Structure 1
Amino acid sequence: MEVHLYEQLYMHVIREIKEGKLKAGDRVSSEKELAEAFGVSRITSKKALEKLAESGVIKRIQGKGSFVANLAGGLEPKKHSEESTSLVTDERKRPLIGFIISNFSDEFGLRLLRAMEKRSAEHNCDLIIKRTGGSKEEEKRAIQLFVSLGIKGLIVTPIHGEHYNAELLRLVLDKFPVVLVDRYLKGIPVCSVYTDNKKAAKDLTLYLIGRGHDKIAYVSPPEENTSTFEERLLGYTLAFTQEGLKLNQDYCLTNLKGILPINLHGTAIDDDKNTLRRFLEQYPDVKAFVASEFLVATMLAQAIDSLDKSLDEYDIVCFDSLNDYLGKPLFTHIQQDEKRMGEEAVDLLVSQLIGEAVPEQRIIEHRMIMRT
């Protein structure tokens, strides 16, 4: 029968007691010490110590540690086959964590998901996933479903919207382990992992200014209560302030809704393309654009093409661009480190599961990738 990780730690302590290396009253290695010695997660070492305590082999004293119990009748743990069966049953109940996201795609989300899934397995946790399609009701239902399934912690990318989800806020206020990814909630004390979107958008805008543009538009979905879009708009405006340039508010087009997950299959994309065409016709001298997302940049390129204009006349920059068939980026863009973002999110959630304090913010560095 396969011997599971925390069973190895369990039997290690048993052997040390049998061999006389540990006696009644002796301190047993801590969760951290066992995890480091065996190269396992703190969840695994914690489970082994909990099993030892349940068996009466050790006593755990809050704030002091674990100590060998007074085994007057000798150490007689269950037969190995019985012990293994019990532990295998527990192994099947290893911590379940949930991940809720509006949508994911090749340009953003898939690498994040892969990293989270891999990191969860490394921590001996099982990850379950739910896409909400940007629906507030679906997000609420997903949270309720995951809680009913007994998840121990939740990672979530909140939907775009004017109001925070009450179910999510309730979890945060109840001190349930939660980590937000690619978002943060203003005024809400919850651990969040995200790119410095303000700096990233400023970098993109400064790049266009450096190329000689002084008429630069910003195109995006509405920014209300979505920290990602709010920060990107702020970064765009700060670049003008830094360079002493006047910002024309008419160049801020933030009413595009077609790329939001909840609208992807409706007529909103066509409406957005018409809005972009009207903007291009109204402001023909604007030749540079900061697009908040890759899909916005592609809609803009399609609008330019529909007016029989050459894309070579324009400079378009964005976040998270895909590559063309030759492997070259379609746009100069900010590349977010999704792999590290996913790993950090799981690490911070696991830290909460074992009672460790975590920071409210974890900023992940970005890179600018030039279109050649």
Structure 2
Amino acid sequence: MNKTALYKQIQEDIKAKIKSGELRPKDRVPSEQEIMDEYKVSKITVKNALTALADDGLVVRIQGKGTFVAEQAGLSDTLKMTVRRGGAGNLVGFIIPTLKTKVIQRLVDHVEYYLKEAGFQMILWITRESSAEESRAIKELTESGVKGLIVFPTEDEKYNESLLRLSLDKFPFVFIDRYLRNIDTYTITSDNLGGAYETVSYLLNKGHRQIALISPENVNTAIEDRTAGFEKAYIDHGISIDKNLWCHVPLDILRSDDALGYITGFLQSRPQITAAFTLTAEMANLTAGSFRVALRDETPVELISFDDPGIPGVPYVAQDEKQMAHDAVELLHMRMGSEHVPQHVVVPVKLVMPPTESDENFHGIGHKEARI
């Protein structure tokens, strides 16, 4: 009798199909209903299996469309097989921390497209926010003979000797989105500082003064630059800033079940807040959930997010992932054929105001009117 939990059995069966090639990258995985019918299990069992596969970076779940096999690598056997089949001369490694966010999913799609246009094949390696796995990816990919690397560093990374070695050896690689300030190389980022500056300026011009900053721990360049943009807006407007309204959630809490309670406690102890700017989409969703618990109906708070949180009525700062991918591939290609002359390309962002339910205003989760 098989004593393996049903959701794990489903998970292992789908993994086996991916490994065997029966399910290939971008293939649609059977629907929840199809899996329920095949295994005679409940919907929650199927959800647990698919969630576990998504957490492992093997599948991508797209609301309203279904579950699809991720464009992923990271297993040495898979990498070696690819190199043997196509040769390493046209391979470029793309090292990413996760496939859970829409921003990274779109970056993967666009990078693969532009690499193919330039005559390269992409090898994707997911580090799952592990600097040790990032180092292993760099070692195996470079030893396999890839032509270059595009690296999206891990969330809590300040220094990685493997990345420093790449720079010292003048190996062609490009940082995308996040970067390490102590490594002088080619870098593509969104205008994180400018996007935060314009958003906070927009809120200040509307009359808000008690604006909360809600963010992951300030441990990477994207968060650092967005935080700096927030502060610069107050300084340039000549308005005193209250950093007691800043909430940088420690990563160990953010990655646990305590994140919602942590933000809820922060909001409950600061009833003077009239607006909140969250520095990631994940933080926007946690904050929206906290609003329901922490704030009275008569205490509206205007919420704006960096990146689309998928919450109706919530404005957000949109990154141009297509342009970032294009510029990253162009820089990498240029680097392959020229001397090492480091440069940092900053891609513009824009504040997106969502469609409204009427011509006059909209109502999100505890929101006042918000439009430019």
TM-score, with structure 1 as normaliser: 0.69
Q: By how many angstroms is 1:320 displaced?
A: 1.2
Out of 139, 154, 176, the position equivalent to 2:134 is 139
Out of 274, 279, 290, the position equivalent to 2:277 is 290
Say whether 1:164 aligns with 2:156: no
Out of 326, 333, 339, the position equivalent to 2:322 is 339
Give the residue type in structure 2 aligned to 1:231.
Answer: D
Structure-2 separation of matches of 1:212 and 1:107: 32
Give the residue type in structure 1 aligned to 2:247.
Answer: L
Give the residue type in structure 2 aligned to 1:167.
Answer: S
- Conservation of the 8 A alpha-carbon contact between 1:259 and 1:296: no
Q: By how many angstroms is 1:296 displaced?
A: 0.1
Structure-1 separation of matches of 2:170 and 2:156: 23
Which residue does 2:12 correspond to in 1? none
Which residue does 2:232 correspond to in 1? 238
Give the residue type in structure 1 aligned to 2:332.
Answer: L
- Give SS of 1:241's match: helix
- Conservation of the 8 A alpha-carbon contact between 2:284 and 2:309: no
Out of 143, 164, 171, the position equivalent to 1:148 is 143
Percent identity (aligned): 31
Out of 250, 261, 273, the position equivalent to 2:260 is 273
Say whether 1:319 aligns with 2:313: no
Structure-2 separation of matches of 1:171 and 1:216: 41
Note the alpha carbon deviations across 1:220-267, whole angstroms, 9 max, x for none: 11113x11011010000011111111111111111242696xx3xxxx
- Give SS of 1:109's match: helix
Structure-2 separation of matches of 1:153 and 1:310: 53
- Conservation of the 8 A alpha-carbon contact between 2:188 and 2:344: yes
Note the alpha carbon deviations across 1:137-176, whole angstroms, 9 max, x for none: 1111111111122111110011122531111111111100
Structure-1 separation of matches of 2:302 and 2:262: 19
Note the alpha carbon deviations across 1:30-83, whole angstroms, 9 max, x for none: xxxxxxxxxxxxxxxxxxxxxxxxxxxxxxxxxxxxxxxxxxxxxxxxxxxxxx
Task: Mark the CA change 1:251 to 1:117 in structure 2 (over 3 Å): closer, same or farther.
Answer: same
Give the residue type in structure 2 aligned to 1:246.
Answer: S
Which residue does 2:293 correspond to in 1? 306
Give unpaired runs (5+ residues) of structure 2: 1-83, 357-372
Structure-1 separation of matches of 2:215 and 2:250: 6
Give unpaired runs (5+ residues) of structure 1: 1-88
- Give SS of 2:216's match: coil
Task: Mark the CA change 1:311 to 1:227 in structure 2 (over 3 Å): closer, same or farther.
Answer: farther
- Conservation of the 8 A alpha-carbon contact between 1:106 and 1:322: no
Higher relative contact order (CA 8 A, sep 6+): 1
Say whether 1:195 aligns with 2:178: no
Which residue does 1:54 correspond to in 2? none
Give the residue type in structure 2 aligned to 1:122.
Answer: E
Give the residue type in structure 2 aligned to 1:274.
Answer: G
- Conservation of the 8 A alpha-carbon contact between 2:210 and 2:274: yes
Q: Higher mean Cα deviation, 178-187 or 311-320?
A: 311-320
Q: What RMSD in Å do the two structures reach over aligned CA positions?
A: 2.2
Note the alpha carbon deviations across 1:74-106, whole angstroms, 9 max, x for none: xxxxxxxxxxxxxxx997554211000101345
Which residue does 2:199 correspond to in 1? 204
Give the residue type in structure 2 aligned to 1:100.
Answer: I
Give the residue type in structure 2 aligned to 1:367.
Answer: K
Q: By how many angstroms is 1:332 displaced?
A: 0.9
Note the alpha carbon deviations across 1:179-233, whole angstroms, 9 max, x for none: 0000232132110000111111111111111222110010111113x11011010
Give the residue type in structure 2 aligned to 1:245.
Answer: I
Structure-1 separation of matches of 2:297 and 2:336: 54
Which residue does 1:365 correspond to in 2? 348
Which residue does 1:112 correspond to in 2? 107
- Conservation of the 8 A alpha-carbon contact between 2:285 and 2:309: no
Task: Mark the CA change 1:132 to 1:310 in structure 2 (over 3 Å): closer, same or farther.
Answer: farther
Q: By how many angstroms is 1:353 displaced?
A: 1.2
Out of 225, 229, 248, the position equivalent to 2:223 is 229
Say whether 1:352 aligns with 2:316: no
Structure-1 separation of matches of 2:214 and 2:342: 32
Structure-1 separation of matches of 2:250 and 2:259: 6
Q: By how many angstroms is 1:312 displaced?
A: 8.1
Q: By how many angstroms is 1:288 displaced?
A: 0.6
Task: Mark the CA change 1:143 to 1:322 in structure 2 (over 3 Å): closer, same or farther.
Answer: same
Structure-1 separation of matches of 2:166 and 2:297: 51
- Conservation of the 8 A alpha-carbon contact between 1:305 and 1:311: no
Task: Mark the CA change 1:112 to 1:242 in structure 2 (over 3 Å): closer, same or farther.
Answer: same
Task: Mark the CA change 1:259 to 1:195 in structure 2 (over 3 Å): closer, same or farther.
Answer: farther
Q: By how many angstroms is 1:303 displaced?
A: 1.0
TM-score, with structure 2 as normaliser: 0.69
Give the residue type in structure 2 aligned to 1:115.
Answer: H
Task: Mark the CA change 1:151 to 1:91 in structure 2 (over 3 Å): closer, same or farther.
Answer: closer
